[in-house]
Amino acid sequence: MRRAEKESLLKSFSVFFVSLGILSAILLYGEYVKLQHDLKESISTEMRLCSYDLKCTQFQFDFAPLKSQKLLYELNETPQEFFALFPIPKNDTYALKLSLSQEHYQQRNDHLQERIVTHTLWALVIVFIVSILFSLYALYPLRRALRLTEEFSRDILHDLNTPLSSLRLNVGLLKSSQENEKKIDRINRSIDTIVSLGDNLRSYLEEHENVKEQMDLYSLLHEKKQIYEKLYPHLTYHLSGTSMIVNSYPDGMKRIFDNLLSNASKYNSEKGEVSIRLYPESMRVIIEDTGRGINHPEKVFDRFYKEHERGLGIGLHIVKKLCDQMKITIHIHSTVGKGTKVTLDYRALTLG
């Protein structure tokens, strides 16, 4: 199950469970109040019947001064007992008092509470099951749409390989003629852009959760540095720091560095520099270039945002998505005309 599906399932379940739980709690509280009222009514009725023949053992008998006829038959409560007054034939001064101690009342009330607790537990079980079923039912259309989108995207990526291979082959043949080198270079860069977009999409579609492992960022960045030195021979690359081990997803990490180093190289100045620094003590990696800079660095993670004609504006959006999935904090600071500094913070990986 993908991250979006898990999040959707959890949120749907939370909404259903909390909503049904609150409704059930209100209904059970109403039932408890009603049962308590019924219990007091039952005690009052039992006292009335007992006042006729006095054949009952659960109540205590006594006599009390009768101050008003309005006090007769009413159930009264004190901290010590429940009691009711009943008339004595041919006697207007005293009344028969039947009482039930709070201890005995609490015993009967405990039975009600046990009943409510039982009902509550059953209600929670039913609400839990219903919430799961509703969540799965609500998730089904999303899962189906995601699966169809993934299958379509994978088919497109697979079908792109054939024309791209053909393009590379034909461009290689054209290069041998040494004509129109600038046009051929532009075609090559366009092919590289399409390949990079395909790699980004493929990385985005893959389940990184299944390939988490320990990796050395210094070794990975050293390999990337050697690759980009060949791709951009007019630039100077610097790598400093020592071994930095993290427990993460190698493919996703490669995608992040490929996008960042590609941007630092493509938008750099002539004979510019790219600096890669690792700080194992603070678990940070900083990639800094001497390029054009960014006018609005706060927007670079927005989908399709770009400040130059090259690219489609989704590379850094994918970088941000990958960083969020892998619990990496990314910050970008840029000055127009001077360059861009990207900071990757890996402390959350060590804490997790």
308 in helix, strand or coil?
A: coil
Assess if residue 48 is contained within a domain: yes
Assess if residue 326 is contained within a domain: yes
Residue 125, pLDDT score: 92
Same domain, 220 and 347: yes
List 340's β-bridge partners, or say none.
Answer: 334
Same domain, 221 and 312: yes
Same domain, 226 and 313: yes
Sheet holding 329-335, edge to edge: 236-240, 273-279, 284-289, 339-345, 329-335
3-state SS, 219-248, equals: HHHHHHHHHHHHHCCCCEEEEECCCCEEEE
d(CA 252, CA 165): 25
Q: What is the CATH number of the domain that holds 233?
A: 3.30.565.10
Same domain, 17 and 116: yes
Which residues neighbour 313 within 8 Å (Cβ) at sequence distance 6 or greater? 302, 303, 304, 305, 306
Q: How many domains does the chain have?
A: 2
Instruction: Supply the DSSP symbol for 72.
Output: B
d(CA 19, CA 132): 13
Same domain, 18 and 132: yes
Residue 209, pLDDT score: 47
Assess if residue 142 is contained within a domain: no
Q: Which two tokens stand for residue 124?
A: 């929670």
Alpha-helix runs per DSSP H in the chain: 3-53, 102-175, 181-205, 217-231, 250-266, 315-325, 347-351
Give residue-wise pLDDT tens across range 195-212.
Answer: 766 766 666 566 544 567
Question: Of 86, 107, 137, at which residue does a domain stop?
Answer: 137
Assess if residue 193 is contained within a domain: no
Residue 64 corresponds to which amino acid? A
Same domain, 109 and 228: no
Assess if residue 18 is contained within a domain: yes
Residue 89, pLDDT score: 85
d(CA 313, CA 308): 9
d(CA 83, CA 66): 14
262 with 319: CB under 8 angstroms?
no
Same domain, 124 and 236: no
d(CA 142, CA 144): 5
Same domain, 217 and 342: yes
Same domain, 216 and 347: yes
Assess if residue 218 is contained within a domain: yes
d(CA 38, CA 33): 9
Question: Of 111, 137, 163, at which residue does a domain stop?
Answer: 137
38 with 53: CB under 8 angstroms?
no
Closest CA to 341 of 286, 291, 261, 272: 286
Residues of the chain with pLDDT under 70: 1-3, 152-162, 173-183, 185-186, 189-190, 192-193, 196-197, 199-211, 304-305, 307-314, 350-352
Same domain, 124 and 228: no
Same domain, 216 and 346: yes
* Domain limits for position 101: 3-137
d(CA 128, CA 119): 14
Same domain, 126 and 217: no
d(CA 327, CA 228): 26
Question: Of 137, 159, 188, at which residue does a domain stop?
Answer: 137
Q: Tell me how far CA of residue 104 lies from CA of 16, 47, 58, 96, in angstroms.
A: 41, 14, 8, 20
List 136's β-bridge partners, or say none.
Answer: none
323 with 301: CB under 8 angstroms?
no
Closest CA to 242 of 276, 218, 274: 218
98 with 47: CB under 8 angstroms?
yes
